Structure 1
Amino acid sequence: MTGDRDESLEQRRKRLAAELAEVDADEAAEAKRDAQSEESRRGMALGLKISSEFIAAIAVGAMLGYLLDRFAGTGPWGLVILLLLGFAAGVLNVMRAVGVVATPPGLGSKQDKGPTR
């Protein structure tokens, strides 16, 4: 009778160990999927940020150029010039966001500034 009980306990232990291994494998796979989806969300957020900054720079340049033309009577030249400047500012913002161009020293964090007294 004791032998049957030991065999039964050993079978249960093996079954529980197999179930725990399966649960651990499922949790590891789920953690991997979560990490991949988090990386995907970061990429999507960066893409939306970059595109909105680019479009906003162009729109602001066009709006300021239109207003300049409207009030100063300069014809289409204010719109053309400020639209091109807005485009250049948008490209510069995209390059900064991607990391191709560093931020100017005056616009960075407090670490960029010299010692204060």
Structure 2
Amino acid sequence: MADDGQEDLEARRKRLADELGSLRKEQPDEQAKINSSASNDRKEMSKGLKLSSEFMAAIFVGFMLGYLLDRFAGTGPWGLIVFILLGFCAGVLNVMRSVGYVAEPEDRIEK
């Protein structure tokens, strides 16, 4: 009886090994698709982080310029308000240039 169980287990193990081998032959195509998809996801994520950091940096620079102007010139909140709005507009323009909706100025394009 023990031999029958052992032979049955060996037959099942061999059958499963054959099935696993056939699946592994098909897997490289699927693995390549997964790897290219993951690589594309990483590229898109880095692009999104770059765009968001450029946008936030422009707003922060506008905030700091406005704060410093108000602090040293005593203009009240008006310098801060104006420079935050300018920073926001500059951030939107940077993002639109990076995405490709707005062209670079002609004098920056290398000929």
TM-score normalised according to structure 1 size = 0.72
Q: C-alpha offsets along residues 49-80 of structure 1, whole Å, 9 cap, x if unaligned?
A: 01111011001001000001111111111111
Q: Does 1:70 align with 2:71?
A: yes
User: How many residues align structurally?
Assistant: 92
Shift in Å, 1:22: 4.5
> What letter is aligned with 2:38?
S
* Matched residue, 2:81: 80
The residue correspondences of 1:38-53 to structure 2 (distance < 5 A) are 38-53=39-54
Provide the rounded CA distance (Å) in 1 between the counterparts of 2:104 and 2:25. 45
Shift in Å, 1:98: 1.2
Provide the rounded CA distance (Å) in 1 between the counterparts of 2:108 and 2:87. 19
Q: C-alpha offsets along residues 9-49 of structure 1, whole Å, 9 cap, x if unaligned?
A: xxxxxxxxxx5x64442111111100000110011001100
- State the percentage of identical aligned residues: 56
Provide the rounded CA distance (Å) in 1 between the counterparts of 2:108 and 2:73. 32
Provide the rounded CA distance (Å) in 1 between the counterparts of 2:55 and 2:86. 12
Provide the rounded CA distance (Å) in 2 between the counterparts of 1:32 and 1:67. 52
Provide the rounded CA distance (Å) in 2 between the counterparts of 1:30 and 1:24. 11
* Matched residue, 1:59: 60
TM-aligned CA distance change 1:41 to 1:74, over 3 Å: same
Provide the rounded CA distance (Å) in 1 between the counterparts of 2:41 and 2:98. 17
Which segments of 5 or more consecutive residues in structure 1 lack a partner in the other structure? 1-18
Provide the rounded CA distance (Å) in 1 between the counterparts of 2:63 and 2:48. 23
TM-score normalised according to structure 2 size = 0.75
